[in-house]
Structure 1
């Protein structure tokens, strides 16, 4: 998971981009931070999905589904 400092930096760079004052170096930094954020988000989301257990109408767990 990203630190609050990195998330704040992402937001700061987004505000600068919207204002039109983002430098090329900051744009590269923004892309790297966004890529790191998305990797973390996808991993966290995948972990949540892997924890889901399906049950039938009677509350009996179904066998685990294979990953695709």
Structure 2
């Protein structure tokens, strides 16, 4: 999901939230809200996972202490050569 689409989804979720607080939602709007929320969470989780997988952790002595799970994901993406 690109930034423009992400903003549209977020704006629509907020619209539905405010409408729900004021007057309630129709069953169709509630279904739309759930679908948009699901889409938003999938996108958030994918971005967060990407950020974590790209992170390299270095301790105070300058030694890399990145977890093996993260190293494996980085190797699969071609980000590591070790």
TM exceeding 0.5: yes
Q: Runs (4+) of structure 1 moved beyond 4 Å?
A: none
1:52 matched residue in structure 2 = 55
TM-score normalised per structure 1: 0.82
TM-score normalised per structure 2: 0.70
Gapped regions of structure 2 (runs ≥ 5): 71-82
2:64 matched residue in structure 1 = 61
Q: Which has the higher helix share?
A: 2
Partner of residue 25 from structure 2, selected from 22, 27, 31: 22
Relative contact order, CA 8 A, sep 6+: which one is greater?
A: 1
Provide Cα deviations, 1:7-62, integer angstroms capped at 9, x if missing partner: 11110001111113311100000000000000000000011111111113321323
- What value does the CA root-mean-square deviation take over the aligned residues? 1.8
How many residues align? The count is 67
1:32 aligns with 2:35: yes
Q: CA deviation at 1:5?
A: 1.7
Whole-angstrom distance in 1 between the partners of 2:66 and 2:17 = 44
